[in-house]
Every structure is written in C-alpha cells, then in structure tokens.
C-alpha cells in the first residue's frame, strides 16, 4: 500500500495560524472536560464525605485495571442544558478494562443533584446500554441515584426511548447472554431500584446502599407506616431476607473488589475474525492535524491529509481515485485492522454518491468495517444535477449506508449539513460510535443560508400585510436568528444533546477509534443484505 505523501507546508504562516487556533480549541475542550469531571461545590463534596461515599471518579478508578485506557463517552452531555448545572448529565459512561475484559462502565454521579436522573441523564444511560447491546459489552453499573428529577418527568418518563428503555435494554442484554454487575452504593429509589434488580449480579454496600421502590417518606405518605432506610431496603435485609441483592459488601472498596472478582469470571468473547497485521504508527505526526484543519470552517481541505495522520504507516489504497473525486474512498489499516475509509473532499455529486454506494457494498461483502470522515456541505443542487438524478443517486448512497452490516464509525471533522449528514452515516444511521471535532457544525442548512431564508419569509409576510422593512429592521430580525442558529449547530450543542458519543481532540482520534473498533468486533458481523436500490 502506498504512503500518502502530504502536501501540507508545516512551516507556512497559514499552517501556524491554523495551529494556534486549533490548539486553543483543544485546550478549551480539555478545560471544559476538566471542569465537568472535577469541579463541584464544596458542600456537595463535603456531603459525600459525611455519608462515607467516594467521588464517582475515584470509584471508577478503583474499578478499572490500572494503566489501561478508559474511553469516556459523552463527557459534555447536558453542557448547554439546565443552565449548565448538571455536568455530564450527572452520569459517567465509558469503555474500560476490568479484570482484562472490555466493559461499559455506567456510574451515577451523586455529587450532582444527588445523582437525580434528568432527561439527558436518561438519554445518556439508554445510549450506554445501546452500545452494550450493539457491541455485546458487559456492563458494570455503579448505582447512586435518588430517582428521576420530577419537575421534568414528562421529558424522561413515558416515551419509547425514555426511562423504561433503560430497564428494557438491561433485560435484552441479559437475554443475549451479556452479563451485568451492579453495585448499590447509595439509595436506588423508584426506577433506579430496577438497575441492580435487573443486573445478573448485584452487590449492596452496608450502611450507604439501599434499594426500594418507595423510600421512607413515600411509604409514610402512602400508608402511614414508619420505617427506617436500613429496615426498608438496606444491605442486611436484601442479602438475607428478600434476595434482591446477591452480595453484601462492608464498604465501597469491598464492593468494587467483589465486582472485579465477578467480571474476572466472565467468558472472554470470541472476536469476529478479521484480517489483522502488526500495528504501525502513522508516518506523519498527529499533532500536525492542528495546522491542517483550517481555522475558517468554510475553507476546504484535503481529507487525505487527515487520513495520513490517522492510519497505520499513513498508507492508503485509494479506490477509484479518478471518479467521483469529491468522495475519497479507500482501504487502510488502523492498529492493524483493515478498514474502509469514506471521506468528503467537497460536495456530493451523482458520481461521488454512486462510488460511495459501490464502495460500501465492496467493504460489506469483505467484512471490512467502515470509517466515515465527514466534512460535507450537502448534495449539489441545480437543474442539471436534478436531471441527472442527484436525488436518486443520493438515495442509493443512503440505502447502502443504512443496509451495511459491517460496523460503521463516524467522525465529524468539520461540517455536517443537510442530506450529506445522512449519506455520511450520521447519528440516525446507527454508526456504532460517532465522534465530533471541536470546530464542527451540524445543521440542516448553513447558518447564513438559513438566516437568509427565514428573514426572506418574514419580509414577505409583512409585504403581504402592506408593510416594508428597512435594512436595520431586516438586520434586527436576521442577527438573533443567526446567533441562535450558530449556537445550536455547534459541536458543544450536538454533544450536549448526545447526538454524538463525545467531542474528541483531533490528536486523540486514532486511539479512540482503535478502542471502539476492538469493542465492535465482539458482535458477529451479519451477511450483507440490502433494500432496493433505485437505479
């Protein structure tokens, strides 16, 4: 396989300006993540100490094998919601190694609103369990949840993907033979009580752990019965009387030791067999990505420069390099695993869509996982393109993306707009994992275009009513639309709403992809089959 020869001039002024800009974005990301992970009001930390509880990060550290990677997912969930007062949506989720097994860790963060579930907390847990189902990953739940945040119950309780889905997903995992271990480290109340109850194994911590459908105040209100936490749902009662819990732990650390001992018994999964060679680092340094990603998101860049800094030896076997050039397709290796890469080098035309659909089927037939690198403003518009069938060719690409049985991974490197978002394996197309780079923008239309359309509509309405708008009035309408549009198409908004599995510092992308690629191979790859391609 030929090495990509980079055309980037790393000594140019342009490169240095980009580098400054992108390093600043990466530093801002790291800082936001640090705050979400560790900054808590002193009184909340003091309350944990008084209750003899560990901070969620310390619990996870004790659970994981030392010096192994932990890929935290959706760290910045809810960063734009609830006035920023629910860091990480009060949940920590990630893929880590426990007793040598790849597992999903799901932990309630009791330092945030007592670990109450907000709508986005529920979304984050459901997503974590979807990941466990899709990739057959065992789950360790560290439970410390006071129950749902009741004022917002209409937004997380009854619908298909709301709280019930957590318990449904847990049941499905058990049915699939993918084990779960839960530790009741705090009060597991109401819905939260089912998390340990539906886990194949659960452990309860003496003194702090409790499981009940209704806590003492609810019982008092409902029946007038006065009962203590310990009597109602404590460790002694559940391990010796009700059988709701399996193991009694005298401390949190004891509980974690038991959990690790349980995981150490799990069968090791047989990974999907796949051609693999020894891994090799890229020939170009990943830190050069900072200088390559243009600081102005409207400026086009060659995705081969990105591929050269992600894949083994920067080697890339490009497929159909002379056809449909706005979509770069080709084979590469990532940590020794063969992958098919589909990357945008401009707007999608009929030929690029046909090439993409063909390449996806090729990879699918040969069990080659697909990596989508998005920088897409959409499909080409115009009379000539419609006459040549741009819509039906786009439909072919969407059909291929949806139907592919091999694992798909998506990284939004810059822009993700319109139907291009769909055709490039956006969230709705079930890529196994999806990550975003800090500068990315995701929306149905570009901010300027959308503000233009919306202002135009407003102006027309007024004209019909006999009014007319001055330039200043038009600007007064346009600016707030533009502002809100920009805000809601940012990577931070996308990750806040859990449209992705997290924002990545570009230099960490290769490692993150290696972890999720390895995880994805726990699930056997189905034989390829597709719907009807409109020819």
Partner 1 sequence: MKHFFEVDGVDYQFALSRCQRGYRLRLSNKVIAPVAFFQQGEGRGVLTIAGESEPVRFAIDGEVIHVHIRGRTRILHYRDPLRTLACANHEADHLLARAPMPGLVVATSVSPGQPVSAGTALMTIESMKLETTIRSPRDGVIDRIHFNEGESFERGAVLVTLVEEGR
Angle at 284 between CA 279 and CA 290, to 5 degrees: 120
- Which residue, 265 or 298, is less far from partner 1 as judged by CB? 298
| Minimum gap (Å) between residue 458 Cβ and partner 1 | 22
CA distance 157 to 121: 12
| Minimum gap (Å) between residue 339 Cβ and partner 1 | 20
10 Å CB burial of residue 120 (0-12, 13-18, 19+) is buried
- CA 140: distance to chain centroid? 18
| Minimum gap (Å) between residue 150 Cβ and partner 1 | 44
| Minimum gap (Å) between residue 346 Cβ and partner 1 | 6
| Minimum gap (Å) between residue 291 Cβ and partner 1 | 15
- Which residue, 130 or 325, is less far from partner 1 as judged by CB? 325
- Which residue, 405 or 449, is less far from partner 1 as judged by CB? 449
- Which residue, 79 or 375, is less far from partner 1 as judged by CB? 375
- Which residue, 61 or 351, is less far from partner 1 as judged by CB? 351
- Which residue, 3 or 460, is less far from partner 1 as judged by CB? 3
Backbone angles phi, psi at 319, to 5 degrees: -100, 135
What is the per-residue DSSP string for 504-523? Answer: --GGGHHHHHHHHHHHHTTS
Which residue's entry shows tokens 């490009």? Answer: 318
- Which residue, 7 or 150, is less far from partner 1 as judged by CB? 7
| Minimum gap (Å) between residue 178 Cβ and partner 1 | 43
Residues that bind partner 1 (CB under 8 A): 2-3, 7, 283, 296, 298-300, 325-326, 345-347, 349, 377-378, 380-382, 415, 417, 446, 448-449
10 Å CB burial of residue 387 (0-12, 13-18, 19+) is exposed
Which residue's entry shows tokens 């969930």? Answer: 77
| Minimum gap (Å) between residue 381 Cβ and partner 1 | 8
- Beta strand 139-143 with 187-189: parallel, antiparallel or unpaired? unpaired
What is the per-residue DSSP string for 358-400? Answer: HHHHHHHHTT--EEEEEEE--B--SHHHHHTTHHHHHHHHHHH
- Which residue, 302 or 508, is less far from partner 1 as judged by CB? 302
Cα distances from 56 to residues 114, 145, 176, 208, 390, in angstroms, run: 12, 12, 29, 14, 51
- CA 192: distance to chain centroid? 23
Write out the two tokens for 409: 């991974």
For residue 82, give every residue at least 6 positions away whose Cβ sits within 8 Å of its Cβ, in sequence order, or none. Answer: 118, 120
| Minimum gap (Å) between residue 302 Cβ and partner 1 | 9
- Which residue, 251 or 300, is less far from partner 1 as judged by CB? 300
| Minimum gap (Å) between residue 12 Cβ and partner 1 | 10
CA-nearest of 312, 293, 495, 526 to 404 is: 526
């Amino acid at each position: 396989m030929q090495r990509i020869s980079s055309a980037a001039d790393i000594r140019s002024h342009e490169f240095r300006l980009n580098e400054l800009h992108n390093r600043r974005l990466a530093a801002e990301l790291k800082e936001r993540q640090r705050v979400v992970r560790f900054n808590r009001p002193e009184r909340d930390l003091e309350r944990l100490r008084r209750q003899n509880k560990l901070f969620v990060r310390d619990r996870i550290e004790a659970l994981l094998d030392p010096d192994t990677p932990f890929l935290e997912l959706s760290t910045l969930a809810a960063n734009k919601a609830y006035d920023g007062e629910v860091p990480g949506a009060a949940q920590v989720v990630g893929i880590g190694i426990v007793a040598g097994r790849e597992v999903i860790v799901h932990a309630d963060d009791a330092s945030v609103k007592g670990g109450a579930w907000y709508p986005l907390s529920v979304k984050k847990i459901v997503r974590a369990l979807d990941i466990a189902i899709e990739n057959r990953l065992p789950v360790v739940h560290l439970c410390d949840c006071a129950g749902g945040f009741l004022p917002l119950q209409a937004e997380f309780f009854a619908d298909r993907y709301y709280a019930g889905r957590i318990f449904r997903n847990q049941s499905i995992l058990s049915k699939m033979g993918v084990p779960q271990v839960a530790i009741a480290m705090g009060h597991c109340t109401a819905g939260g009580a089912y998390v340990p109850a539906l886990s194949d194994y659960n452990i309860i911590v003496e003194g702090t752990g409790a499981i009940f459908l209704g806590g003492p105040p609810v019982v008092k209100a409902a029946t007038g019965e006065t009962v203590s936490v310990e009597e109602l749902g404590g460790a002694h009662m559940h391990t010796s009387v009700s059988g709701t819990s399996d193991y009694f732990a005298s401390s949190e650390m004891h509980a974690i030791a038991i959990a690790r001992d349980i995981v150490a018994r799990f069968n090791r999964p047989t990974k999907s067999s796949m051609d693999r060679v020894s891994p090799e680092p890229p020939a170009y340094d990943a830190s050069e990505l900072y200088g390559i990603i243009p600081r102005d998101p409207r400026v086009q860049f060659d995705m081969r420069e990105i591929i050269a800094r992600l894949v083994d030896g920067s080697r890339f076997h490009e497929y159909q390099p002379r056809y449909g050039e706005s979509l770069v397709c080709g084979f590469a290796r990532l940590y020794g695993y063969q992958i098919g890469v589909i990357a945008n080098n401009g707007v999608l035309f009929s030929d690029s869509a046909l090439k993409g659909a063909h390449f996806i089927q090729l990879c699918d037939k040969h069990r080659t996982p697909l990596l989508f690198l998005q920088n897409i403003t959409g499909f080409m518009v115009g009379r000539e393109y419609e006459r040549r069938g741009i819509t039906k060719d786009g439909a072919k690409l969407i059909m291929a993306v949806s139907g592919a049985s091999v694992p798909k991974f998506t990284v939004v490197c810059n822009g993700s707009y319109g139907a291009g978002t769909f055709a490039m394996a956006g969230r709705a197309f079930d890529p196994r994992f999806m990550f975003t780079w800090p500068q990315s923008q995701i929306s149905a239309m570009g901010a300027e275009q959308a503000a233009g359309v919306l202002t135009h509509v407003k102006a027309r309405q007024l004209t019909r009513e006999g009014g007319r708008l001055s330039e200043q009035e038009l600007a007064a309408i346009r600016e707030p639309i533009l502002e809100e549009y920009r805000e809601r198409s940012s990577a931070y908004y996308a990750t806040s709403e859990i449209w992705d599995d997290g924002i990545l510092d570009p230099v960490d992308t290769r490692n993150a992809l290696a972890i999720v690629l390895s995880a994805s191979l726990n699930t056997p790859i189905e034989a390829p089959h597709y719907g009807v391609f409109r020819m």
